Structure formats: structure tokens, C-alpha cells
């Protein structure tokens, strides 16, 4: 079994089992670093090579992020090419793209207008912000009554925090209502019919109705609408469903632990009761459930169904055995001894990570080269902790320049403290601040926005001169002009007919096009000629898909790998936008790039792997544990592992709860009440109050986040915490104490 090969890849025993799949419903639980993406790609390729999809069918691969679409698609194409086959017979897309395409095929059934706009998460937040403004203005006295502390005085800070919490009430109720496939009117009837008087739920439903009106005016659908409407349409037209099943006889789903029940239902509908659907994921790495409709227990429930063949991919070559043992110890301790009994089943599925066999293509780092350090006492503050960890990381990177290093924090502000500590160290410490968009990212976005804006309307007056000025400002034309000379060059560009400059006759040179009274220096003429050649090339490429256009421009303007990687991420992001908005033109894409350039929108989603980031040896990465999912480093430093960031029981403090309403959590209470009315509960903790239920969910998810942090490390791992987290006094997480005990026992064994 160990020497089984497929398309040049040596397979592990459980990979052989997964790749023996021929049909039916199946679930694969894959531990960190087990090669699930490769396994999924190999399976798709095998189904195509063996002709299991027929002449007209395709393997449908559904994933979460556009970068995963690229990765899986490239792997499948590469395997097919090696087998001498054309790159056909498969489709890789995000679930939202799939839903949008299904809707566009039957707009009449979906009740959607042609040319509908897709509202992304940033736009959706803006719409809810506006909805809250309107609602608060109409109910201000009642709204402020929740803050009444007896003296009638409410500080501006508290009022603003309550406003933010109100928006959160609207977002959570809206998301859940759409997950339950309830219109605002239907949800209101459900609440009224129950006889329950719940102020926060009523508030949330009012906000949902106002938000829906904003979307209706824009003829817009948000991501939840896409799934809901597509599922409704499939329910109405069985013949259309049969056509789709014939087109996609096999459905392969990646990152299934992050799918909501509604997303699960649409794929099950497409597969059909006798269909072929295989879901791959890791429920122990589900770290988005408290702010999405997903919960890993749904995937675990699917994993345990009688009609589902369940397999695990337990072997991983990522980490050395001491780190593997630590991750396994966390899972076992939580499942056996966590102080909140409900957490023992909620947080993790019982599966151990196993090291690879001898001779594996990805051997584990030698155990003797692995080190784990867990502090036995806290630092006084996050500032002191950050300074110490920065010093350790810098020393490690200096000793091992060929290795990769990361400092991972629970919250972005803590990462900012680390960045400050690295910047204040003597000498120049090479590090990457990946907490937010970097200056380099914003600069590249400004350049690409300027180019796409010009190409969207190249005949506008002074457009060429404005483009020149924008590129000059970013310092990428290879020459810096004084302000007076820049004004002169811009005037020259305004005076020349664009077609003569960009597409000259063979014998024409720039000097011949200059106005008689204008004299440019030789180097300025050379600069204009180079600029004209570039822009002429871009004009010819303007009909390319937007992602290919951006990559063409990037190759012309940038040489360094980091800059090219940023441009690739921008191109990937815009390709996703183009698929969701097929009617968009270049000026629309320029506006999207402006959002990134203005630091109003992050480049990519929660994970750095989602935007194609690769760790670089010798540089210290500073980012959050959430963004680190999907990546790995030789050495990892986990900071702030305390009982505020990783609460132990329902009696602890919880970051997301409003401090100005002790014991209350409006968004949580509204969501839980609506879930109960809609029959959407998992039932494990139904005897607890809504606030306690939400706290249990947070405890479980933060334990999974700690697991994700631990499993980013290949060779070396350090875990620290402080006595003060910001202004709050904290203690060590009880999970950390359990790990400390385990490390000590392992060391003494």
C-alpha cells in the first residue's frame, strides 16, 4: 500500500482508500497537513481519466476561496496534461459563483431581475450601517432606553458601541433569517405567532426589513440570497435539476467544515439521493463558525450518517512528532476533561494526527530537532511579552536564515504591538506585517486602479497625462521628475493625439510629435517613449479578461517577487468579482482597486493562504491565528494564550459581549431566539440560556483556533501569555495549563 503510485504521486494508505472512491455519498476528515487538496485534485483527475463522467459531463469541484479555485484547477490541468488529455471535463468554482450561475439560467423561476447586482460583504455591511441609521432615528428614545443607568446620562463612547452592537444584531438576524429561508414578512409573522416578546429579536427583524429594502432598490442579492434563491429555484424545477445532475455527475466539496446547512442542502439537491458527492474537510480546524452560519457539528453529523462512507486522512508530514503529540494532547484533554462538560463534544472530533511512514514523500522533521517552550509564568503586559517574543524570533531568524518564522496573535492590535517591538530593535530586522494591507499592497492597487481606469475610458480628455502622473507618483517609471518638469511632460502628453503617440508609424519618433516651442531633455523623451510603448501594449491587451490584463501590466511594471505576488492576488480578487458581476467594465474594477488602495477593503479574506501568500525564509511574519490557517512555518510563536482570548467557562469574560450591558448580549439573544423559533438548533446545549449557548460556541471555536495555531509549526513552537491583556487582568487559559503539564510529563519521561 505504501508504494502505491497514481499519476507520479506516491500515496499514503488512507489516500489510496479515498482515491478508490467510485460513487455515492462520502466524507473525508483530513488532519492539518494531510494533503487534502492534492487528494481532491487527484480524485477529480482520476474520474476524468477513467471516463466516469461520460462525454458531456464534468466533475464539479466546489471550494470556498478563489485562490483555492486556482490551486485545484492548476493541479487537475497538470495531471491531465501529463496523461496527454486536454484540460476539459471539470469545473472548479466557489459555491457563491455556482449559485449565481444557476440563478442566471432561470431568472424567471428565481424571481430575480436580469442584470441583478451581487452585494459583497463590504457593501452588505455598508447597507446594514445605513439601515441602522434609519431605524435608530425612528426609534431613538426606545433605543436609548436600553442604556438607562438611572441618571439619564449616556456617554458618546457607550452610545457608539451600542450603535455598533445594533448593527451586529441586524447582521446576525438577517443572516440567520436567510439561512432559514424567511423573508422579512415571514420572519415577523413567525415572531408574532409565537407570542414571545423579545425586544432584540424584534429590533433585528426591523433591521432585516430595512436592509432588504436597500437591496431591493439596488436590485441586489447578497451572498446568502444567492444560495437561498438558487435552492428555491432547484426546488421548483425538477427537470432543470436533472439537467444539472447530468452535467455534473460527480460533486467534490473542499473545506466542507465551513459549509452552512443551507450550502450543504444545495449541493445535496444537485447530487440527488442516488448521486455522487464527496465532502472533504477538517472539523477540528473550523474557526469561522461564530460569525457565519456554519458549525463544524453539521459536517460531523454528515460524517456519521448511515448513507455516507466515512474516511479519515490521519497522516501528516508537516510537523515533528513533539508538536503532533501536543496537538493531539489538546484534543484528548478537551474531549475528556474540559471544565465545561458540553465543550467535550462540541469542540473537537476525536481524531489523532499521525506521523508519516518511513519513505514518505513528505517526512516529518526529526523529533530531536523539534523544541516546545511553554512559559511557566506570565509577562507583566502584552508590551513586555511582545518585546520578548520579538527578540526570540529575531534571534531564531538570525541563527537559521534558511527557515521560516511566524509570530501569531489572537487579535490584530496585539500584532501591532509586536510590529512596534520589531521596528524598535537595533539593526534592520526583516519582517512582514501581514495584519492588514501593507503600503506595498496599497501602492500596487493604486497603480492598477490608474491603469484600468485609463483603459476603461482612454479617449477622455487628459486621461493619458493623468495616467502618467499616477505612475510617476508611485515611483515605478524608473525616473523622478521635478514638479516643474512633470508639469511640462503632462502638458506635452495633453497636446499629442493619443493614437499618434501610442501607435506611431514606423519612422515616427517622439521628438517629431512635440510642439515646436517645447524642449524636453533626452532622458525625458526616453521616458515618454517607454511610457507610450507600455500604454500601447496595455490598450491592445484591454480586451483580455481583467485578471489576465492585470498580470500583463504587472509583468511590465514590476520585477520583485513580492510585488508580483501582490498583483497576482489583486488579479485573483478581480477575477472573482468579474465572475460575480459579468456586466462590469474596467471602470468598475478600478473602483474595486480604489477600495484596496484606500485601505477600506482588505486584499483577500481571513486566510493568507486564500490570497496565495507563501512564507519566505529569513523573514519574520506577524499575523493573526485566523489568517495563518492553511500555512506553515518552521518556528511559530503563539502569544496571548490567556483566559480572555481563550475563555475556559461560561463565567469568564468574553470579548464580544457589550461591557455596557452586563449579562446581556443583544445580537446573540436575537439570533438564538430566532433559531429556536425556526427549529434550527443542534440541541446539545438547549437547556442553557441563549447567552450561555453563545459562550459555549465561542469557547469551542477558540480551542480550535489554538489547535490551528499549534499545527502551523513544523519544528519549533513557543507559547506565551501576560498578566494584563490591554486593560484587563487575565490568567493563563486552562487549556494552556493542561498543555504545560503534558509537556513537563513528556520531558521527564
Q: What is the pLDDT of residues 247-272, one digit of tens each?
A: 999 999 999 998 888 889 999 999 99
Q: Which of 210, 226, 242 is the last residue of a domain?
A: 226
Q: Which of 580, 605, 630 is the last residue of a domain?
A: 605
State yes or no: pLDDT of 514 exceeds 80: no
Q: Do 462 and 496 fall into the same domain?
A: yes
Q: Which residues pair with 405 in a beta bridge?
A: 620, 635
Domain of 375, CATH number, reads: 3.40.50.300
DSSP H stretches of helix in 195-254: 199-217, 223-236, 238-247
- What pLDDT was estimated at residue 289? 67
Q: Which three cell numbers stand for residue 303?
A: 460524517
Rounded to whole angstroms, the Cα distance separating 741 from 188 reads 52
Q: Do 642 and 732 fall into the same domain?
A: yes
Q: Do 524 and 575 fall into the same domain?
A: yes
Rounded to whole angstroms, the Cα distance separating 311 from 20 reads 11
Residue 159 lies in a domain: yes
Q: Do 564 and 477 fall into the same domain?
A: yes
- What pLDDT was estimated at residue 114? 80
Q: Do 464 and 586 fall into the same domain?
A: yes
Q: Do 481 and 590 fall into the same domain?
A: yes
Q: Do 449 and 581 fall into the same domain?
A: yes
- What pLDDT was estimated at residue 470? 85
Q: What is the pLDDT of residues 590-601, one digit of tens each?
A: 998 988 887 666
- Please provide the distance, in angstroms rounded to a whole number, between the alpha carbons at the two ends of the chain: 34
Q: Do 592 and 468 fall into the same domain?
A: yes
Residue 23 lies in a domain: yes
Cα–chain center distance at 735: 27
Rounded to whole angstroms, the Cα distance separating 97 from 115 reads 15
Asked if 735 and 705 touch (Cβ cutoff 8 Å), the reply is no
Q: Which of 226, 244, 266 is the last residue of a domain?
A: 226
State yes or no: pLDDT of 225 exceeds 80: yes
Rounded to whole angstroms, the Cα distance separating 203 from 684 reads 27
The tally of domains found in the chain comes to 4
Res. 658 pLDDT band, cuts 50 70 90 = confident
Res. 1 pLDDT band, cuts 50 70 90 = very low
Res. 17 pLDDT band, cuts 50 70 90 = very high
Query: Residues 446-454: what's their mean pLDDT?
Result: 92
Q: Which range in 233-237, 350-354, 500-504, 727-731 is most confidently predicted, on average pLDDT?
A: 350-354
Rounded to whole angstroms, the Cα distance separating 319 from 633 reads 9
Asked if 625 and 707 touch (Cβ cutoff 8 Å), the reply is no
Query: Residues 693-701: what's their mean pLDDT?
Result: 92
Question: Kind of pairing, strands 724-725 and 728-729?
Answer: antiparallel
Residue 167 lies in a domain: yes
Q: What is the DSSP letter of 732?
A: B
In 3D, which of 452, 509, 517 has the Cα closest to residue 491? 517
Give the residue carrying C-alpha cell 512635440: 514
Asked if 515 and 465 touch (Cβ cutoff 8 Å), the reply is no
Q: Do 182 and 44 fall into the same domain?
A: no
Q: Which three cell numbers stand for residue 703?
A: 480551542
Q: What b/e sequence results for 375-398 when a residue is b if at least 16 CB atoms lie within 10 Å of its CB, and e otherwise?
A: beebbeebbbbbbbbbebbbebbe
Q: How far is CA 131 from CA 210, 649, 667, in A?
A: 5, 35, 16
Higher pLDDT, 339 or 681: 339
State yes or no: pLDDT of 320 exceeds 60: yes
Rounded to whole angstroms, the Cα distance separating 691 from 685 reads 11
Residue 232 lies in a domain: yes
Residue 430 lies in a domain: yes
Rounded to whole angstroms, the Cα distance separating 255 from 282 reads 7
The boundaries of the domain holding residue 249 are 5-103+228-313
Rounded to whole angstroms, the Cα distance separating 234 from 272 reads 11
Please give the share of the chain, as a percent, with pLDDT higher than 90: 56
DSSP codes joined into one string, 83-118: TT--S-SEEEEEHHHHHHHHHHHTHHHHT--TTPEE
Q: Do 467 and 585 fall into the same domain?
A: yes
Q: Do 145 and 183 fall into the same domain?
A: yes
Higher pLDDT, 660 or 733: 733
Rounded to whole angstroms, the Cα distance separating 62 from 88 reads 16
Query: Exposure of 305 by Cβ count < 10 A (0-12 exposed, 13-18 middle, 19+ buried)?
Result: exposed
Q: Do 577 and 454 fall into the same domain?
A: yes
Give Rg (Cα) of the chain: 28
State yes or no: pLDDT of 607 exceeds 80: no
- What pLDDT was estimated at residue 530? 82
Amino acid at each position: 500500500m505504501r508504494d502505491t503510485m497514481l499519476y507520479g504521486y506516491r500515496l499514503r494508505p488512507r489516500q489510496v482508500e479515498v482515491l478508490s472512491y467510485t460513487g455515492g455519498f462520502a466524507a473525508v476528515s483530513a488532519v492539518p497537513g494531510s494533503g487534502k487538496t492534492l487528494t481532491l485534485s487527484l480524485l477529480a483527475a482520476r474520474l476524468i481519466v477513467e471516463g466516469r463522467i461520460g462525454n458531456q459531463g464534468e466533475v464539479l469541484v466546489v471550494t470556498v476561496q478563489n485562490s483555492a479555485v486556482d490551486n485545484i484547477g492548476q493541479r487537475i490541468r497538470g495531471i491531465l496534461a501529463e496523461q496527454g488529455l486536454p484540460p476539459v471535463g471539470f469545473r472548479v468554482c466557489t459555491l457563491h459563483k455556482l449559485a449565481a450561475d444557476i440563478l442566471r439560467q432561470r431568472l424567471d423561476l428565481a424571481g430575480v431581475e436580469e442584470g441583478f447586482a451581487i452585494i459583497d460583504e463590504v457593501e452588505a455591511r455598508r447597507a446594514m450601517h445605513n439601515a441602522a441609521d434609519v431605524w435608530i432615528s425612528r426609534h431613538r428614545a426606545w433605543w436609548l432606553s436600553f442604556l438607562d443607568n438611572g441618571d439619564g446620562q449616556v456617554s458618546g463612547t457607550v452610545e457608539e458601541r451600542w450603535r455598533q452592537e445594533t448593527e451586529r444584531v441586524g447582521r446576525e438576524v438577517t443572516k440567520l433569517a436567510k439561512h432559514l429561508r424567511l423573508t422579512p414578512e415571514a420572519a415577523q409573522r413567525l415572531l408574532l405567532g409565537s407570542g414571545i416578546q423579545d425586544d432584540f429579536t424584534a429590533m433585528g427583524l426591523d433591521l432585516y426589513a430595512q436592509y432588504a429594502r436597500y437591496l431591493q432598490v439596488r436590485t441586489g442579492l447578497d451572498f446568502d440570497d444567492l444560495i437561498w434563491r438558487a435552492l428555491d429555484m432547484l426546488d421548483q424545477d425538477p427537470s432543470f435539476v436533472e439537467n444539472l445532475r447530468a452535467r455534473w455527475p460527480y460533486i467534490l466539496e473542499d473545506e466542507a467544515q465551513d459549509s452552512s446547512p443551507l450550502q450543504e442542502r444545495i449541493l445535496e439537491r444537485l447530487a440527488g439521493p442516488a448521486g455522487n458527492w464527496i465532502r472533504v474537510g477538517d472539523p477540528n480546524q473550523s474557526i469561522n463558525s461564530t460569525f457565519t452560519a456554519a458549525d463544524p457539528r453539521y459536517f460531523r453529523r454528515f460524517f456519521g450518517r448511515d448513507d455516507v462512507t466515512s474516511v479519515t486522512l490521519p497522516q501528516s508530514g508537516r510537523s515533528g512528532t513533539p508538536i503532533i503529540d501536543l496537538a493531539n494532547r489538546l484534543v484528548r484533554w478537551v474531549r475528556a476533561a474540559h471544565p465545561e462538560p458540553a465543550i467535550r463534544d462540541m469542540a473537537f472530533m476525536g481524531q489523532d494526527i499521525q506521523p508519516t511512514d518511513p519513505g514518505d514523500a513528505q517526512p516529518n522533521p526529526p523529533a530531536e530537532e523539534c523544541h516546545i517552550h511553554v512559559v511557566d509564568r506570565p509577562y507583566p503586559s502584552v508590551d513586555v511579552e511582545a518585546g520578548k517574543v520579538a527578540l526570540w524570533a529575531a534571534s531564531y531568524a538570525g541563527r537559521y536564515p534558511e527557515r521560516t518564522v511566524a509570530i501569531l496573535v489572537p487579535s490584530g492590535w496585539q500584532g501591532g504591538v509586536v510590529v512596534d517591538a520589531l521596528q524598535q530593535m537595533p539593526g534592520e530586522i526583516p519582517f512582514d506585517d501581514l495584519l492588514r494591507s501593507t503600503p506595498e499592497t496599497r501602492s500596487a492597487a493604486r497603480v492598477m486602479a490608474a491603469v484600468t481606469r485609463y483603459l476603461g475610458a482612454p479617449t477622455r480628455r487628459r486621461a493619458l497625462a493623468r495616467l502618467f502622473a499616477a505612475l510617476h507618483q508611485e515611483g515605478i517609471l524608473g525616473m523622478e521628475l521635478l514638479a516643474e518638469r512633470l508639469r511640462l511632460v503632462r502638458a506635452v502628453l495633453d497636446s499629442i493625439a493619443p493614437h499618434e503617440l501610442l501607435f506611431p508609424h514606423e519612422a515616427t519618433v517622439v521628438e517629431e510629435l512635440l510642439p515646436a516651442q517645447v524642449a524636453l531633455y533626452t532622458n525625458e523623451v526616453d521616458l515618454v517613449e517607454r511610457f507610450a510603448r507600455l500604454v500601447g501594449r496595455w490598450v491592445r491587451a484591454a480586451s483580455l479578461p481583467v485578471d489576465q490584463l492585470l498580470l500583463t501590466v504587472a509583468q511590465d511594471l514590476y520585477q520583485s517577487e513580492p510585488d508580483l505576488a501582490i498583483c497576482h492576488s489583486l488579479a485573483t480578487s478581480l477575477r472573482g468579482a468579474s465572475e460575480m458581476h459579468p456586466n462590469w467594465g474596467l471602470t468598475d474594477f478600478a473602483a474595486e482597486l480604489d477600495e484596496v488602495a484606500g485601505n477600506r477593503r482588505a486584499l483577500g479574506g481571513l486566510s493568507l493562504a486564500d490570497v496565495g501568500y507563501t512564507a519566505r525564509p529569513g523573514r519574520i511574519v506577524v499575523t493573526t491565528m485566523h489568517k495563518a490557517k492553511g500555512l506553515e512555518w518552521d518556528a511559530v510563536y503563539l502569544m496571548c494564550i490567556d483566559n480572555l482570548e481563550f475563555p475556559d467557562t461560561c463565567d469568564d469574560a468574553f470579548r464580544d459581549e457589550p461591557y455596557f450591558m452586563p449579562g446581556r448580549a443583544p445580537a446573540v439573544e436575537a439570533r438564538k431566539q430566532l433559531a429556536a423559533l425556526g427549529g434550527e438548533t443542534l440541541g446539545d446545549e438547549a437547556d442553557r440560556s441563549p447567552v450561555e449557548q453563545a459562550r459555549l460556541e465561542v469557547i469551542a471555536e477558540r480551542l480550535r483556533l489554538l489547535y490551528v495555531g499549534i499545527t502551523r509549526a513544523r519544528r519549533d513552537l513557543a507559547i506565551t501569555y501576560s498578566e494584563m491583556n490591554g486593560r484587563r487582568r487575565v490568567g493563563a487559559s486552562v487549556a494552556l495549563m493542561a498543555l504545560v503539564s503534558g509537556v513537563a510529563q513528556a520531558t521527564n519521561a
